[in-house]
Amino acid sequence: MLYFDSTYLFRIYSAEPGHEAVKAALAQANRPVAVAWHGRAEFASILLRKRREGADTPEQLASLAKQFQEDCRNGLVHFLPLAEAVMTRLESVLSNAPASTNIRAADALHLACAAEHGVDVRGDRRRLHRNGRGWRSAKVPHAGAAKSAPASPV
């Protein structure tokens, strides 16, 4: 499973800095992308921010949105559910994390969702892709460690 957060997901469709590396990782993996269910809302929020900032034309952003929606319909982007087990994992891990841990709620949801759906967030970083410094610097204890069940075929 190739897990992207919403920033990496957006870079599949855009030409913003870092898009080459994201597209290369996607091509190398040669499989669909998985993202937590709330990543769809984050993607829409990124489109709004880009429009507000004037980073792209409204036509370019509409084209990105259309391609994203088509990819979702065609099964190239899979949204993983945020079930009770994800929230239980998130609460447990954060309640036991060092006080110095600095992680946003949305990032914690991504980590817990990835772990709950079989992505080993401790080891193979090639399977988990996240923008910024949040996940790597958070040092959340094993991010709840992936369950021992086999990973989803996504």
> pLDDT tens, 70-122?
999 999 999 999 999 999 999 999 999 999 988 889 888 988 998 898 876 55
Count CA within 13 A, CB hemisphere, residue 101.
20
Domain ranges for the chain, please list them: 2-80, 84-123+132-144
- Of the pLDDT bands very low, low, confident and very high (cuts 50, 70, 90), residue 134 is very low
Q: Spelled out in words, what is the top-level CATH class assigned to the domain 2-80?
A: alpha beta
Tens digits of residue pLDDT in 9-38: 999 999 989 899 889 988 888 888 999 999
Judge contact between 154 and 134, C-beta under 8 A. Answer: no
Pick from 49-53, 57-61, 138-142, 147-151: least confident: 147-151
Residue 104, pLDDT score:
87
**Sign of CA pseudo-dihedral 111, 115, 120, 122:** positive
Sheet of 77-80, strands arranged across: 77-80, 33-36, 2-4, 128-129
What tokens were used for 73? 């319909």
Tens digits of residue pLDDT in 48-57: 999 999 989 9
Residue 121, pLDDT score:
56
Residue 71, pLDDT score:
94
Strands (E), 1-154: 2-4, 33-36, 77-80, 128-129
Supply the pTM of this predicted model. 0.75
E strand or H helix at 29, and its extent?
A: helix 19-29
Residue 120, pLDDT score:
60
